[in-house]
Copies of this chain bind each other. A is one copy, B any other.
Amino acid sequence: MSILDYLTGRRRKNSAQQAKERLQMVLVHEGARRRGPDFLPQMREEILQVISKYVEIDQEQLQIHLDRSDGYEVLELNVVIPEKRD
Contact = CB atoms under 8 A, between A and B. Distances in A.
Interface of A: 1, 3-4, 6-8, 11, 19-32, 34-35, 39, 42-43, 46-47, 50-51, 53-55, 67, 69, 72, 74, 76, 81, 84
6 contacts: A7-B26, A21-B29, A21-B32, A25-B28, A34-B84, A43-B54
Contacts of A67: 4
Interface secondary structure of A, over-half rule: mixed
The winner among A1, A6, A22 for most chain B CB atoms within 10 A is A6
A62 to B, nearest CB: 15
Contacts of A21: 29-32, 34-35
